[in-house]
Amino acid sequence: MHDIWNPWHGCKKCSEGCQNCYMFYLDAQRGQDGGKIYRTKAGFRYPLSKTRSGEYKVRSGEMIRVCMTSDFFLEEADPWRDEAWDIIRQRPDVKFFLLTKRPQRVRDHLPKSWGDGWENVMFNVTCENQKRADERIPILLDLPFKHKGIMCAPFIGPVSIRKYLPAGQIEQVLCDGENYGGARPCRYEWVRQLHDECAACNVTFVFCGTGRRFVKEGKMYHLEGSVQSEQARKSGLSFSGKPIQFRLTNSWGYPVPEEQLYKPYFGEHCRTCGMQLICNGCSHCGKCGEKSPGADQAVLGIQGMQGQFGQIQALTSAFPADDNGEA
């Protein structure tokens, strides 16, 4: 996946949302142990990789989702994190999406040059239920980040964030149901409540997908694959709020001109995807049969979202493991 960077792989379960973790499930399907944590080899310096012509593969203005098969603030990753921060520092023209269930560890593991935050980093906490929302959001609000968001995925219980939104720090809220073995149901009224609270404060809300089991008006729906994202989009519950302003710069500290920033392309198939508000655009994989005139200009992104937070199969195979289980 072009917009995913996994500098390390593997994790330790730490809360209710981890119970049916997709990474553990998919690793088990490949005969591997998701609890084995290792630094990736080919993928570690991915944001700095270049084409044969010397241009960065990740273009200015793109958003990179970090550690989608782990946690950026995982204790076992402490030896590697400073180098990862340095890579993020070297690409001030690219947006980095960080997500954690361990916000209590963040303050002690920020770079020395962090100050009040880097403009190209968006920090998010997972709030799978009200207990974790009330535990993690206060920490989120107290941390020095320029951009902050909430991810309710897997969405396994009702969550109200009404009391946290007036502070004006939370710029984006995402939610998605649960998938794979043991998937717990997501309910329409939970999603509706989040939508209403975000819309009232002009905060962008994205209903990414229903998950495998979705309940509406007392009826349980069993949904698979891209249907989850399509149904999320059809619900009309996503809301485009106040735009997030990332002040991206080049390596010299000068603002990147608007015309040089990456512009995502959305094909016909993308129009049914619930992730479009936050997506990097069509991947031009050819599965839908569409050939875009702008294909050679488009950059790989997320298309036909399946399951929580994108094409999960790609997350664990973006940098295939070698015989020792290391990528």
Q: Where are the domains of the chain?
A: 4-317
**Residue type at 306 in one-letter notation:** Q
Q: Model-level pTM greater than 0.85?
A: yes
Beta strands 4-5; 170-176: pairing state: unpaired
Q: Are 157 and 130 a contacting pair, CB within 8 Å?
A: yes
Q: Are 205 and 232 a contacting pair, CB within 8 Å?
A: no
Q: What is the pLDDT along the chain (327 residues), one digit of tens a residue?
A: 458 999 999 999 999 999 999 999 999 999 999 999 999 998 999 999 999 999 999 999 999 999 999 999 999 999 999 999 999 999 999 999 999 999 999 999 999 999 999 999 999 999 999 999 999 999 999 999 999 999 999 999 999 999 999 999 999 999 999 998 899 999 999 999 999 999 999 999 999 999 999 999 999 999 999 999 999 999 999 999 999 999 999 999 999 999 999 998 888 878 888 888 888 887 776 666 665 444 444 333 333 333 444 444 444 444 444 434 454
> Which residues are registered as beta bridge partners of 219?
216
Q: Are 185 and 157 a contacting pair, CB within 8 Å?
A: no
Kindly report the number of other CB atoms within 10 A of residue 103's CB atom: 21
